[in-house]
Each structure stands twice: as structure tokens, then as C-alpha cells.
Structure 1
């Protein structure tokens, strides 16, 4: 009977260790032959394909410099947030292509893709970026226009007479 109790105790200890994540192997980086990590980011109708590799902090968007493409300081700040939270400012070169949407949506898509690419390159950063909300896809998109309405919900002006 005592032997059965020891086996049960050992098995329950293994289950507890697996549940706490101690026995699980750490995630391995997903890096291609050129030393880059790739991820896709989305925001509104914009889709960004983002490649991240170690470098000097250079940002290239659609073949243009990041400061030229995203001229507004707010958009550049938005893109740099994952680096600041992860304490990796100036350590990675970013090359991305963006399609669809406006500049604000494109900046959000680049931020989302950049965060995902950083987690693929350095899996230890996942917790920090996840707690900052950078890995969550913002699913808010423009609502479609309905027939019989001026816009999505706005009615035409009512005339009593």
C-alpha cells in the first residue's frame, strides 16, 4: 500500500511540474538562413510583412526610410513601443512591406508584426510584449454601410412635412 502511495505522489508531482511549465522546454527561435525572423501584422485593413534581424535600429518600409514613410512623430513612437518595452532600442534592423489602409492602420500593423517577429527571434520577450498588449490583434475595423442609411448607422434627415 505504501508503494502505491509513493507512485501516486510521484505522478502528481510530475503533473504539477508540467502544469507550472517547469518541465516544458523553452520555445526555440524561428530564424531563417539570413538570420531574420518573419511575422505578419494586421490592423484595420492594413497588412504588414515584417522581417527583423540584429543591426543598428534601421527601419525600412516599402523600400523607403521609416522616418520618411511615417512622417508623423506619433506613428514613429507607435512603431518603437515594442522595442522600448523589451529594452531592445537600436539593436534590430526592421524591413517591412505594408499594404492597405491608411498611415495609422499601417503603423499599427507594423507594430503588431514587429512584436510577433521579436517573439520569434527572442522567445523570452513574449511575456513582456504580451503583458504590454502588443501581441493582440486589434480587430476593430470600419463598419460597412447599410442600404437605407446615409452611413453605417446614420439615418437621413427626417422631415415631418
Structure 2
């Protein structure tokens, strides 16, 4: 029997800055859902402030890392979700505007340079509306949490199934 690939789901953000907390909110929802539908062995859920060193530490050695973060877009559509697929062969700075000064783009570039990229990296960027101090997501961003948790579960299942077949997972 083949050992299950290591999988990391990382919610990036600050739950005390309103919509910037969408990453941790998705991770919290996945934890709740795992009571009824457990994640595969070797899957870890984590939250991060977005520091590049900490992100690299969380995804290093994984076959699949899924990162959920808040993003800015102009004009913005709060709650709209963007998906970017990267693997260690094609990793490059995406130019995405994270809500953190140094963050995901820099972590990807640094990890690539150091040879510490996960086998496959999926980034979900959720457009936010409010980054002011306070807790709770705006209505549009909160409405994206459940569907996004389902998409992450589907990504994990697709990766697990491909690994069991000995194939590369489809993006």
C-alpha cells in the first residue's frame, strides 16, 4: 500500500481585519466539515499570517498545498474567487495583490529559489471589501466560504485519486 501524500491547506489572513480573515474562515469551515467527512490521512489544516518563511515551513515537503488568501482587485467584486495553479516546475510570481505587504508572491519566489516548493500549489484568492479593524466577514465574502471549502475538498480528493493511480493530478 502506498503512503498517502502529505497535503497542507493554509488559510492566510488576519481574522481581526474583517475580510482579510477569509483564509482562516475557510480552514475553520474545513475543520467543522471534517467531523462528518474526514480529510485523508496526511492532510493538515493551518492558518498563517502570510509571512513568507512561515508559509514555506507549512508547505515544505508536501505533495499538494492549497492556500486561501484575501486579495484586492480594482474594480473589485467582493466574494469573487480566483484560482491559480502552480507546480514546482512552473512556479513564478503571479503578480497577485495579497492583502499583506510581503506575502504569498514573495513566498513562492523564495521557495522556488530554495527548491522548497510543494509538488503542486493551488492558490485561491478571494476578493474582499472591508479590511478595517473588527471581526466578521462581509456578507459577500462570507457567502464564498462554504463553496470554497467544497472546492478545496474536491482538490484534495482529485489529488488523492491521482496519487493512488500514480498519475499527476489535473489542475
Alignment TM class, shorter chain as reference: under 0.3
With normalisation by structure 1, the TM-score equals 0.25
With normalisation by structure 2, the TM-score equals 0.24
The structure with the greater share of residues assigned to helix is 1
Q: Give the number of the structure with larger relative contact order, counting CA–CA contacts within 8 Å between residues 6 or more apart.
A: 2
